[in-house]
Structure 1
Amino acid sequence: MDMNQYLDMFIEESKEHLQAINSNLLVLETEPDNIQIVNEIFRSAHTLKGMAATMGFEDMASLTHEAENVLDMIRNHKLNINSDIMDVIFQSVDLIEGMVYNIIEGGDGSADVSKPVSLLRAIVSGDMAVVASGQAAAEKEVTAAAAEHHHDLDEFALTVMRQSKEAGNNLFWIKVTLQESCMLRAARAYMVFDQLENAGEIIKSTPSVEDLENERFDYEFELIYVTMKSLEDIKKMVENVSEVKEVLIKTVEVTTPQVQVEEAKKETAAAQAVEKKPAAEANAAPAGAAKKVSTGKTIRVDIERLDILMNLFSELVIDRGRLEQLSREIGRGELSETVEHMSRISGDLQNIILTMRMVPVEQVFNRFPRMVRDLAKDLNKKVNLEIFGAETELDRTVIDEIGDPLVHLLRNSIDHGIEMPAERKKNGKPEEGTVQLKAYHSGNHVFIEVKDDGAGISKEGVLKKAIERGIVNPATAENLSDKQIYELLFASGFSTAEVITDISGRGVGLDVVKNKIESLGGSVSVDSVRGEGTTFLIQLPLTLSIISAMLVQVENEKYAVPLSSIIETAVFRKDEIMLAHRQKVIDFRGRVVPLVSLKGIFQVPDQGNGSDDDEVAVVIVRKGEKMAGLVVDSFIGQQEVVLKSLGKYLVNVFAISGATILGDGQVALIIDCNALIK
């Protein structure tokens, strides 16, 4: 019997069961006496074992069988849950998940399951000493594996590495061994860092910077380092530091797996080479087996088919615009009625297609409780993750892209926002820190908030580092508001080296977060109160393909301004325009708003159509708190437009996010208001 025809079904159902097991294990950890949850996990594991055995994935079936035996003992009250048992079960689930993603990539799903199997058997036999020592050995193995590979680098560190490589930089793995006679190890490590940071950027250190500073290491440490200099130059530079015994340097080749960041510290998975997760597959499964709808009422559709349907419909929208224009010009009653009816029908069709593509953010949020649990454990912190609005829906293409920025912000909050329990207690806070992840709709946008009740951001620290890095000059720095200081965290090249750990650094990769969100047509901002916490706010469009826009005319050219950026349109008399710092400005409801001439920005040739009117048409647009007035010749009106990219030959055109074809066949460029507002 050919099993390939069942492979897709096996993969989808396995992901559902694994998600359900992970979610239920987290509940079980907080409610160890909840036998109903154990039964749920047992049922999912049992189904998974049967499916794996049927499909011929023996390693997966045998590992799941051993996990099932442990769960069976727990539910029959023959075994009490403790931290070591939970860790072994979590590791086993991670390894099974790794096998599933190996199968997705065309592998045979095999893996070395001997260690987790022996640990699970030791639990069944009651030999907990073997389990505890097995856990310690697994942790050592992770450290060893991380030295050779970059398994525990998250997607943003990898993105930074890839971008650095593409920009012509060299990537090195450096291992520095100090002499045994070295008295001040932390000082020597600092001198090595100091030398290296003069010529490049340290992306990661093992042990962490904090451990190095506190001399919590023997005589060696490892770094991943980006630089323009050669291997020989770097080696000489490090060897020049006194009391350095040996320097090993290897060139790092960056692979391009879409690493699921919560796998970054998985003990067993780190020893396996099955860690890639295609973005399109990563969130395809419904939220969990528990919520599975009866198969008679749902059907799984390949996302590519929905993309094709969307593209075909967007062509229809263009033709609809053309027909509406022709019917106005011809003026025949029957034609107008038919076109109106067609417009209504296609509007309904558009809503249905967009709704079909909408997916609850729950699919992204589901992976975070497990990640937060592992991270808090690694950092010896107590963290409670609260999730609100997981049912909020977003376009599928956006869902696939927001996971990694959110992972980075969450890791950031836990690592640098939330303080250690003792410090929180000293400051009169509960020992357990709270991180809130909230999603909600507002207008044509979805907002996602990552909020922690930690230490907040040190304005002085951010300013000091920004001045050191030349991001702002000292004169300007004095006039910056708190909000503007926090925005410096997103500046390219900004990092606060003192706080970089192996988890994240407040600032490291935040420029990548910003670039990713803005590439989706969204924006990200940060606000913080010292001692009370920090809030990151992400604003995203509901969909990326069809947008509502205001059409405007400049000379003979037409431009589309997205409605989501517009506050209002207005007409000002020329004598209302003032000059401030050699910049034309207007008074808009008590606020000074700079004017931007689209004719000047896009160098539109003068057709001599300019009237000597005493009035100027202005579109007031905003980006966060900032506003600007776009000066145009006239307003044409509001219209639904299809966003088309300009193709690979016209990348990075300033202030243009794409183009659309209008009803009369003309091409109108779509203005990126974010780029116009500095």
Structure 2
Amino acid sequence: MDTTQYLDVFIDESNEHIEVLYKKLLELEKSPSEKAIIEEIFRAAHTLKGMSATMGYNDLATLTHTLENVFDAIRYDRIQVQSEMIDLLVDTVDHLNTMVEDIASGGTGSLDVTGVARKLEMIEKGNSLPEASNEKVVEADSTNLSNVFTDLDEFELSILNESKERGFENYEITVTLREDCLLKGARVFMVFEVLEQLGEVIKSEPSVNDLEEENFENTFSVILVSSQDQNEIAAKIKKVSEIEEVKVNHFSVSKYRESIENEASSNPIEETTVSIVEAKEEKKTKEQETTKSTNNKTIRVNIEKLDVLMNLFEELIIDRGRLDQISLDLQNADLKETVERMARISSDLQNIILTMRMVPIDTVFSRFPRMVRKLARDLNKQVDIEIVGADTELDRTVIDEIGDPIVHLLRNAIDHGVETPEERKRKGKPEKGTIELKAYHSGNHVFIEISDDGAGINKEKVLQKAIKNGILNERDVESLTDQQVYELILESGFSTADKISDISGRGVGLDVVKNTIESLGGSISIDSELNKGSVFSIQLPLTLTIISVLLVELNKEKYAIPLSSIIETAIISKDQILSAHHKKVIDFRGKVVPLVDLKDIFGVDSEDSDDEYTSIVIVKKGEKMAALVVDSFIGQQEIVLKSLGSYLNNAFAISGATILGDGEVALIIDSNAIIK
């Protein structure tokens, strides 16, 4: 059976089941007797095993089957969950994850898992409680020969005769699956794997192809040549879950010949064959009806196709702007009406496409609990992680980039923030620290907060380090707010750690985090209280490709300022411009705000003007503000953000460019860089 066409679906669904296993194992550690969690882990392992077996990834199927057996024993109370078991179970899922990653990269998913599997089997057998399973093994003697096999040829019969002469036993084995068994083909695969380890399968009924295609009811039979004991064969087959009954009979060639001769005269085979065909046709019809009535209304789409769709739509946005400009120039009523209708439709289309690109941030958050657990154990600390708002959605391009910064901040919180249990006890805190990872929407932004109840940031230590590194001088210290002091740790090469570790920082500091977030059009702020904890807050745009901007003009050149960074626009008289420390400033609502002439920043020629008024745009980055001087405001517009490419990526205060409706190119101003 060719399964290559299902490979992408298999990888996606396997990753989903592995995430469930990770998540639920961590929950199980906190609530070891919670049956709902145990059932969910069992179902995830069971489904993953069936999928792996169907796709032919034997190592993956075998290990998952062993994991499934452990949880089958747990859910039937044959063994109890112990805290020391969780480490091994998490390691097992790590092995599964490694195999799936290997398959995704074009490998075979092969891995030596005998050590882990052996330990899992020890856990499964480690309890002396009697088994409470629904599986039954019925051992019959050789007189109960069934009429399942009616078409053994002379070659097969000669093999069975010869094996008997050489001291082997011939067995007829009939296996009945449970009525509620899912993926029967996978279950058959598991049974055949066991049989191949025990001996040689000579014949199966139904045929192997029918078994693979699940063209059978709940029962199948095989003839096996083996040197193993009848009871041992039955016991090993029994280990495969979802089996209702196993019958192991000795198979006699002479009695088989007698049976065939006795039945030849009455010829019941034709009637039996007809009934089987009718049953199959009836079952096929029912399955088709069920499929029609329960058709899934979701599909999986390759992300590259969404990227192509987005690029095409970006071109449409540019052409929409061009048509809008032409309709204004021509003042044609029909054209204007058509353009307005096109604008409405394209706006709706834009919302749909952007929604399709939105991904729950849980795809990033879900891997952090196991990372936090492992790091805490490595550092001999006790840390709980609480995740809030995991269903918050963010553009896929942002999702792809935000994982590493959050990992760095979490490592920093565990290593530098949360104290050891002994130290926390001395401070009157609970021995177990808590890290909260929170995501929420606010306006056109997503906020991600990483907070801990640890030691906080030592302000004096930060200032001393900043002065020592030459970032500050002692005169600047008094003018800094607490938050500005805390944000000094984001500077390149800044670290207050007495000892550099490989857990966080690594002597590099958090400047990498800051640069990555700012490259996404976001910002990071820090708040802290000594011995109470710290909060790192990340602000990110919902989407990166289509943004709303204010178009401004500088000596007939057009520039775009993202609306997300604008507080307001104003027109001020030149009398309101003041001077402080040899720099131009204005008084904005009681705050002194520096005045920045964009013409000076971008080297635009300045013409002498007698105008008494100046147009300004107030922009903000964290607590800092600046007033940008422009010649005039053109208006608000949605534009497509285009990269400047590798040759111009170092242009100061320019984050990209866009093509306007009249065909002109407008540069997009990075106000964060100007404020900095």
TM-aligned CA deviation for residue 79 of structure 1: 1.0
Q: Which residue of 2 aligns with 1:77?
A: 77
Given residue 510 of structure 1, which amino acid in structure 2 is its aligned partner?
A: L
Trace 1:367-406 onto structure 2 (pairs within 5 A): 367-406=367-406
Given residue 405 of structure 2, which amino acid in structure 1 is its aligned partner?
A: P
TM-aligned CA deviation for residue 314 of structure 1: 0.9
- Contact residue 408 and residue 505 of structure 2 kept, 8 A: no
Measured against aligned partners, the alpha-carbon deviations of 1:156-193 in whole angstroms (never above 9, x if no partner) come to: xxxxxxxxxxxxxxxxxxxxxxxxxxxxxxxxxxxxxx
SS at match of 1:299: coil
**1:438 partnered with 2:429:** no
In 1, the alpha carbon distance for the partners of 2:45 and 2:583 equals 67
SS at match of 1:78: coil
- Contact residue 499 and residue 506 of structure 1 kept, 8 A: no
In 2, the alpha carbon distance for the partners of 1:502 and 1:619 equals 44
Measured against aligned partners, the alpha-carbon deviations of 1:178-227 in whole angstroms (never above 9, x if no partner) come to: xxxxxxxxxxxxxxxxxxxxxxxxxxxxxxxxxxxxxxxxxxxxxxxxxx
In 2, the alpha carbon distance for the partners of 1:487 and 1:643 equals 29
TM-aligned CA deviation for residue 524 of structure 1: 0.6
Work out which structure has the larger RCO, using CA pairs closer than 8 Å and 6 or more positions apart in sequence.
Answer: 1
In 2, the alpha carbon distance for the partners of 1:311 and 1:366 equals 30
Given residue 534 of structure 2, which amino acid in structure 1 is its aligned partner?
A: T
TM-aligned CA deviation for residue 528 of structure 1: 0.4
Trace 1:196-235 onto structure 2 (pairs within 5 A): none
TM-aligned CA deviation for residue 36 of structure 1: 2.6
Q: Which residue of 2 aligns with 1:641?
A: 639
Q: Which residue of 1 aligns with 2:524?
A: 524
Q: Which residue of 2 aligns with 1:361?
A: 361
- Contact residue 463 and residue 485 of structure 2 kept, 8 A: yes
In 2, the alpha carbon distance for the partners of 1:372 and 1:497 equals 20
Trace 1:582-597 onto structure 2 (pairs within 5 A): 582-597=582-597
Trace 1:72-471 onto structure 2 (pairs within 5 A): 72-126=72-126, 296-471=296-471
Measured against aligned partners, the alpha-carbon deviations of 1:615-665 in whole angstroms (never above 9, x if no partner) come to: 111011111100001101111111111100111221110000000111111
In 2, the alpha carbon distance for the partners of 1:507 and 1:485 equals 19
In 1, the alpha carbon distance for the partners of 2:449 and 2:81 equals 35
Q: Which residue of 2 aligns with 1:613?
A: 611
Measured against aligned partners, the alpha-carbon deviations of 1:512-565 in whole angstroms (never above 9, x if no partner) come to: 111111111000111101111100000000000011000000002000000001
SS at match of 2:672: helix
In 2, the alpha carbon distance for the partners of 1:303 and 1:461 equals 47
- Contact residue 489 and residue 509 of structure 2 kept, 8 A: no
TM-aligned CA deviation for residue 410 of structure 1: 1.3
Trace 1:527-566 onto structure 2 (pairs within 5 A): 527-566=527-566
Q: Which residue of 1 aligns with 2:510?
A: 510
In 2, the alpha carbon distance for the partners of 1:499 and 1:447 equals 32
TM-aligned CA deviation for residue 422 of structure 1: 2.2
SS at match of 1:386: strand
- Contact residue 416 and residue 506 of structure 1 kept, 8 A: no
In 2, the alpha carbon distance for the partners of 1:509 and 1:46 equals 44
TM-aligned CA deviation for residue 506 of structure 1: 9.0
In 2, the alpha carbon distance for the partners of 1:450 and 1:346 equals 38
Given residue 666 of structure 1, which amino acid in structure 2 is its aligned partner?
A: E
Q: Which residue of 1 aligns with 2:629?
A: 631
TM-score by length of 2: 0.74
- Contact residue 410 and residue 450 of structure 2 kept, 8 A: yes
In 2, the alpha carbon distance for the partners of 1:432 and 1:101 equals 34
In 1, the alpha carbon distance for the partners of 2:36 and 2:661 equals 60
Given residue 296 of structure 1, which amino acid in structure 2 is its aligned partner?
A: N
Measured against aligned partners, the alpha-carbon deviations of 1:219-251 in whole angstroms (never above 9, x if no partner) come to: xxxxxxxxxxxxxxxxxxxxxxxxxxxxxxxxx
TM-aligned CA deviation for residue 431 of structure 1: 2.0
2:672 to 668, 671, 674: 674
Given residue 327 of structure 1, which amino acid in structure 2 is its aligned partner?
A: S
Q: Percent identity?
A: 65
Given residue 488 of structure 1, which amino acid in structure 2 is its aligned partner?
A: L
In 1, the alpha carbon distance for the partners of 2:114 and 2:501 equals 33
In 1, the alpha carbon distance for the partners of 2:611 and 2:481 equals 39
Q: 1:528 to 1:410 in 2, by over 3 A?
A: same
Q: Which residue of 2 aligns with 1:224?
A: none
- Contact residue 642 and residue 661 of structure 1 kept, 8 A: yes
TM-aligned CA deviation for residue 17 of structure 1: 0.8
Q: Which residue of 2 aligns with 1:157?
A: none
Unaligned runs of 5+ in 1: 129-293
In 2, the alpha carbon distance for the partners of 1:457 and 1:118 equals 47
Q: 1:537 to 1:506 in 2, by over 3 A?
A: farther
TM-aligned CA deviation for residue 127 of structure 1: 9.1
Q: Which residue of 2 aligns with 1:4?
A: 4
Q: Which residue of 2 aligns with 1:568?
A: 568
SS at match of 1:352: helix
TM-aligned CA deviation for residue 370 of structure 1: 1.8
In 1, the alpha carbon distance for the partners of 2:473 and 2:59 equals 60
In 1, the alpha carbon distance for the partners of 2:661 and 2:24 equals 53
In 2, the alpha carbon distance for the partners of 1:11 and 1:613 equals 66
In 1, the alpha carbon distance for the partners of 2:571 and 2:50 equals 70
SS at match of 1:663: coil
- Contact residue 78 and residue 127 of structure 2 kept, 8 A: no
Q: Which residue of 2 aligns with 1:215?
A: none
TM-aligned CA deviation for residue 495 of structure 1: 1.9
SS at match of 1:416: helix
TM-aligned CA deviation for residue 295 of structure 1: 6.6
Q: Which residue of 1 aligns with 2:483?
A: 483
- Contact residue 452 and residue 533 of structure 1 kept, 8 A: yes
SS at match of 1:579: strand
Q: Which residue of 1 aligns with 2:42?
A: 42
In 1, the alpha carbon distance for the partners of 2:396 and 2:361 equals 9
- Contact residue 550 and residue 560 of structure 2 kept, 8 A: yes
In 1, the alpha carbon distance for the partners of 2:590 and 2:40 equals 61
Measured against aligned partners, the alpha-carbon deviations of 1:539-594 in whole angstroms (never above 9, x if no partner) come to: 00000001100000000200000000111111111111111111111111111111
In 2, the alpha carbon distance for the partners of 1:507 and 1:574 equals 48
SS at match of 1:534: strand
SS at match of 1:79: coil
Q: Which residue of 2 aligns with 1:165?
A: none
In 2, the alpha carbon distance for the partners of 1:675 and 1:615 equals 26
Q: Which residue of 2 aligns with 1:184?
A: none
SS at match of 1:648: coil
Q: Which residue of 1 aligns with 2:170?
A: none
- Contact residue 560 and residue 667 of structure 2 kept, 8 A: yes
Given residue 530 of structure 1, which amino acid in structure 2 is its aligned partner?
A: L
- Contact residue 384 and residue 433 of structure 2 kept, 8 A: yes
SS at match of 1:649: coil
- Contact residue 490 and residue 507 of structure 1 kept, 8 A: no
TM-aligned CA deviation for residue 433 of structure 1: 1.5
- Contact residue 496 and residue 506 of structure 1 kept, 8 A: no
Measured against aligned partners, the alpha-carbon deviations of 1:61-92 in whole angstroms (never above 9, x if no partner) come to: 12112212211211121112112221111111
Given residue 58 of structure 1, which amino acid in structure 2 is its aligned partner?
A: N
Given residue 447 of structure 2, which amino acid in structure 1 is its aligned partner?
A: F
Measured against aligned partners, the alpha-carbon deviations of 1:467-494 in whole angstroms (never above 9, x if no partner) come to: 2222223333343322111111110111
Measured against aligned partners, the alpha-carbon deviations of 1:102-161 in whole angstroms (never above 9, x if no partner) come to: 111111111121211121122233299xxxxxxxxxxxxxxxxxxxxxxxxxxxxxxxxx
Q: 1:434 to 1:497 in 2, by over 3 A?
A: closer
SS at match of 1:320: helix
TM-aligned CA deviation for residue 43 of structure 1: 1.6
Given residue 390 of structure 2, which amino acid in structure 1 is its aligned partner?
A: A
In 2, the alpha carbon distance for the partners of 1:377 and 1:441 equals 33
TM-aligned CA deviation for residue 30 of structure 1: 1.1
Q: 1:105 to 1:506 in 2, by over 3 A?
A: closer
In 2, the alpha carbon distance for the partners of 1:667 and 1:36 equals 58
How many residues in Structure 1 have an aligned counterpart in Structure 2? 511
